[in-house]
Amino acid sequence: MTIIAAADGSALGNPGPAGWAWYVDESCWAAGGWPESTNNRGELTALLELLRATAHTGEDLLIQADSQYVINSVTKWMKGWKRRGWRKADGKPVLNDDLMKAIDEALVGRTVRFEWVKGHAGHPANERADDLARAAATAFQRRTAVPAGPGWTRGGAAPEQRTVAESAAAPGPEGDVVPGSTAARRAALRAQQEAEHSEQQAPGTLF
């Protein structure tokens, strides 16, 4: 059996209030976020949380995602990064390496494929994951309760679910917090987002 799930991220301002979500169906999904982060960190966290939520199942996983950055990072670039000590071909440190390393660890022993889907093009699961990630980001923007979802509800012992507070405290760029003023944090996040954007390549369909 193969688990089919969508994973997506959202940021309001990019950087700004951000969210992540993975979605199987209306009875099996999860979401979370942070007061300030980037869209790409939301996308990566959605993947990581999905891998963790399904780790106990022993099932293959097909992940539907609209992020070229995420898919290419895992399927094309990660092997070279690891060989170079988590550095890119130009010698610069890999961006979001905290999440990349966690994803790499979560992939061990798993059979995982990716299907690229065009964002905002009517793909039902992708649209729903996007809605949930955006709802989480909006909740942080408005300082309201975050719709965290039921989590993994299928067979087997479910993994321990993190609370909304724990999700909010999840690592941001460069560890837990970007030091300095709010303006400095936003500038650092914006610079990181621009660097990530320059790395993206056109994907295929299945990886």
Which pLDDT score is estimated for 183?
56
Tell me: pLDDT of 181 over 80.
Answer: no
Q: What is the mean pLDDT of residues 80-86?
A: 97
Which pLDDT score is estimated for 154?
87
Domain boundaries, the chain: 2-199
Residue 43 bears catalytic tag: yes
Band (165; pLDDT cuts 50, 70, 90): very low
Contact at 8 Å (CB) between 24 and 42? no
Residue 8 bears catalytic tag: yes
Catalytic residue among 36, 43, 49, 196: 43
Nearest to 70 by CA among 49, 46, 51: 46
Lowest mean pLDDT among 49-58, 80-89, 145-154, 187-196: 187-196
Band (191; pLDDT cuts 50, 70, 90): low
Lowest mean pLDDT among 63-67, 176-180, 201-205: 176-180
Tell me: pLDDT of 110 over 90.
Answer: yes
- Is 160 annotated to bind a ligand? Reply is no
Give the position of tokens 């990072």: 73
Which pLDDT score is estimated for 140?
98
Residue 90 bears catalytic tag: no
Beta strands in the chain (DSSP E): 2-11, 16-25, 28-37, 60-65, 112-116
Q: Record the tokens describing residue 154, joined without a space.
A: 């299928």
Mean pLDDT, all residues of the chain: 84
Which pLDDT score is estimated for 120?
76
Length of the chain: 207
**Start-to-end CA span in the chain (Å):** 18
The SS3 assignment for 32 reads strand
Q: What is the mean pLDDT of residues 39-49?
A: 98
- Is 60 annotated to bind a ligand? Reply is no
Q: In this structure, what are the phi and psi dihedrals at residue 84, rounded to the nearest 5 degrees?
A: -95, 15
22: β partners: 7, 30
- Is 8 annotated to bind a ligand? Reply is yes
Which pLDDT score is estimated for 177?
31
Domain 2-199 has CATH 3.40.1360.10: no
- Is 194 annotated to bind a ligand? Reply is no
Catalytic residue among 91, 109, 120, 122: 120
Lowest mean pLDDT among 34-48, 58-72, 80-94, 192-206: 192-206
Residue 91 bears catalytic tag: no
Which pLDDT score is estimated for 119?
79
Band (53; pLDDT cuts 50, 70, 90): very high
Calpha distance 177→132 (Å, rounded): 24
Q: In this structure, what are the phi and psi dihedrals at residue 202, rounded to the nearest 5 degrees?
A: -75, 130
Catalytic residue among 130, 149, 172, 196: 130
Residue 120 bears catalytic tag: yes
Contact at 8 Å (CB) between 7 and 19? no
Tell me: pLDDT of 87 over 60.
Answer: yes
